[in-house]
Amino acid sequence: MNNPLLTTSKLPYGAPQFDKIENQHYIPAFKQAIAEAKVEIDTIINNPDEPTFENTIEALEYAGSTLNHVSHIFYNLLEASTNEEMQNIAEEITPLTTEFSMYVSLNESLFQRVNKIYNQKYAMNLSAEETRLLEKTYEGFARNGANLSSENKKIYSKYIEELSLLSLQFGKNVLAATNAFSLNITDENDLIGLPNYVREQAADAAKDKGLDGWLFNLTAPSYIPFMKFSQRRDLREKMYRAYNTRAFGGELDNSKIIKRIAELRILTAKLLGYTNYAEYKTERRMAKSPNAINDFLNKLLTPALPKARQEVADLNVYAKANGFEDECIMPWDFSFYSEKLRLEKYDLNDEQLKPYFQLEHCIEAIFNLANKLYGLTFNKLTDIPVYHKDVQVYDITDNDGSHLALFYADFFPRESKRGGAWMTEFKGQRIFNDIDERPLISIVTNFTKPTADTPSLITHDEFTTLLHEFGHALHGILTKGKYESMTGTSVDHDFVELPSQIMENWCYEPEYLNTFAKHYLTGETIPNELIEKIVESKNYLSAYYHIRQLQFGILDMAWHTLTEIFEEDPLSFEKHALSATNVLPSIPECIISTAFSHIFSGGYSAGYYSYKWAEVLAADGFSLFKEKGIFNKDVASSFRELLTKGDSIDPAVLYRNFRGHDPEPEALLKQLGII
């Protein structure tokens, strides 16, 4: 079989051959790639020469390139364009990839060579980048069981394999549970309060399913506007309960899975000599320890909690003044009344703004921003195969005309795609044999689809999301380093969100919005009064939303600072962990954890705090743009330098080089208007 995953792509820049890849290709490709990688590892081990940086550390960095190539394609499509067969393939290959990972990380002979070089590092004439690779390679072995006894290595391997399979099953259950619920409305009277664009989208969704009426589901473009605008409180409650009980109970229940994941992480951490999993995970991050993270979260929580509670109290007063008869608003009332109050306070809502945020114009706007700041040019390609008809591809060139990256953009929701938005890559950047191999970068979102009568019009919040993910993409696009494991977004979790968070700030800058926000029908530039309202309303309920994000971080740390698994159920555990931070009534049977993909299947375990950590960096960092000018070339050039370095330099040093000082949490609290 001619396997397109194993043949060199003749497409421009080595683009994946998506037009040729079929599910049947994955398992043979993985098996061959793993076999090749084992040969490469064995070649390093059996080298009769004395261990050197080149024949061991660099050779190890470059080993397994075919496996990396196959993995990048398969696992990205597993998230963005999956099906049951692919999910079954993932379960079949996970033990194989885990076994190979253990073959490397627990290989005593290989570690002896690495250790010998590490102990001689000060006597070797290594560059700063080479020294950092050596240190990270050694730490990678030490932190992944290389110093364990033979018996404990076997135990560690079993833990890791089980964790991998459980994480896959967790994600599979969340996707299935999200897709399992829909609300089919056939009586137009039940649509009361919903704007026309929401109705049109729901009508198209029903038509696609061969149903009459209007269909709503739990994807963001459907769920969020329904909760904001529907006057049917009973239906809002139904939607809310469905969303917040995903994968909780029934055949898709993740309760036992998350307890077992937490338990295995505890056991793994203890086996490696740590008190808990958070201690293990944070040791090599900017934060350094769970105590430092909890102190950080508390510094952000303490001044914000009273203000958040006051915001909710004010919303209760408003709701009662507008016909609400219960004692207090419930979670399914929050979006509805907060949107009504927003409209009253600022005379601003999504329906007013969406006509000015046509997706195509927004895409062009972020490309123009990248051009103004960094000199980048985006050229749309039509001859590059894609994995789904909605995907668009762009060739990115630098200000000197040189190629920087291919950029894949996948914007619209579908049942084969998980919810949310993310940036990823089909290939990372590296310099190999003196050739700068440029990356293949992708962003994936779930924005409102075009209807029969209307182009894709996104909310201002969705535009913020677009800029956020594009910030991650820029991190991957602009990177330039020798070693792929240290380029682009391969940095500490509490640093990786800085490039994305800082980009969000341009969403509120009149000087930028005026350049592209034009009415899709009339071509009229967005009126200044609307921009003023966007800016004025930026911190509307900011303390509430700030607390909401902190709750995710607190819950994550609660799961990962455990030293023993608890006897109670995950629901009770979660309620206890968040009890002191609730600003709305807690619904007894609703839960976050069973669908908390970031920490149970998405790589953010003991790391969700990093969003807030990076918000602090971004607030402090953007203040330099505000001071010098939001398109200032010198500031942009300095920030580009930060983006190019990847993980070749300690992130704290990178930030200080850019900003001139260390950030403080007060920068974010001031930006949010909390202090």
CATH code of the domain covering residue 368 = 1.10.1370.40
Among residues 630, 664, 361, the alpha carbon closest in space to that of 503 is found at: 630
Domain count for the chain, please give it: 2
| One-character DSSP codes across 388-399 | STT-EEEEEE-T
Residue at which a domain ends, from 147, 166, 200: 147
Predicted pLDDT at 212: 97
Q: Residue length, the chain?
A: 675
pLDDT value of position 663: 85
Nearest Cα to 420, choosing from 472, 373, 382? 472
What is the rounded CA–CA span in Å between residue 192 and residue 8?
56
The 8-class DSSP code of residue 452 comes to: S
Predicted pLDDT of residue 453: 84
Tokens of 394: 């762009």
How far apart, in whole angstroms, are the C-alpha atoms of residue 406 and residue 440? 5
Residue 620 lies in a domain: yes
CB of 616 closer than 8 Å to CB of 668:
yes
pTM value is 0.90
On the CB side of 446, how many CA atoms lie within 13 Å of its CA? 21
What is the rounded CA–CA span in Å between residue 173 and residue 574?
Answer: 19
In a domain, 214, yes or no: no
pLDDT of residue 623: 92
Domain membership flag for residue 167: no
DSSP, collapsed to helix, strand or coil, labels residue 598 as helix
Q: Residue 154: which residues within 8 A CB-CB, separation 6 or more?
A: none
Task: Look at residue 350 in the predicted model and tell me its pLDDT.
Answer: 87
Distance CA 31, CA 1 (A): 14
Q: Token pair of 133, please?
A: 């690779």
* Catalytic-labelled residue, pool 61, 279, 339, 469: 469
pLDDT of residue 665: 85
Report pLDDT for 423. Answer: 97
Helices (H), ranges, 244-354: 255-271, 277-282, 290-301, 304-321, 331-346, 350-353
In angstroms, the CA 439 to CA 487 distance is 10
CATH of the domain at 42: 1.20.1050.40
Does the residue 162 lie in any domain?
no
- The answer to whether position 481 is within a domain reads yes
Is 159 part of any domain?
no
Note if 237 is an active site residue.
no
Q: 4 lies in a domain?
A: no
- The pLDDT assigned to 126 comes to 95
- By C-alpha distance, which of 561, 628, 556 is closest to 592? 556
What is the distance between the alpha carbons of residues 515 and 186, in angstroms, rounded to a whole number? 42
Q: Which domain holds residue 439?
A: 355-536+611-671
- The answer for residues whose C-beta is within 8 angstroms of residue 466's C-beta and 6 or more apart is 362, 363, 366, 445, 447, 458
Q: What gap in Å lies between CA 388 and CA 189, rounded to an integer?
A: 37
The per-residue pLDDT for 414 is: 92
Encoded tokens for 47:
């080298």
Rounded Cα distance between 44 and 56, Å, is 6
- Phi, psi (rounded to 5 degrees) for 608: -65, -25
Across the 675 residues of the chain, what is the mean pLDDT of every consecutive 10-residue run? 93 97 98 98 97 97 97 97 96 95 95 96 93 96 94 96 96 96 97 94 94 96 96 98 97 98 98 97 92 96 97 97 95 97 91 94 97 98 97 98 98 93 97 96 94 90 97 98 97 92 96 96 95 94 97 98 95 97 97 97 93 93 95 98 96 94 88 92
Among the three residues 147, 177, 197, which one is the final residue of a domain in this structure?
147
Amino acid identity, residue 439?
A: P
State how far the Cα of 204 lies from the Cα of 198, in Å rounded to an integer.
Answer: 10
- Torsion sign (Cα): 513, 374, 659, 292: positive
Closest CA to 366 of 447, 439, 469: 469
Q: What is the predicted pLDDT for the residue at 167?
A: 97
Residue 630 belongs to a domain: yes
Q: Among residues 147, 175, 203, which one ends one of the domains?
A: 147
**Cα separation, 220 vs 419, whole angstroms:** 7
State the maximum Cα–Cα separation within the chain, in Å, rounded to a whole number: 83
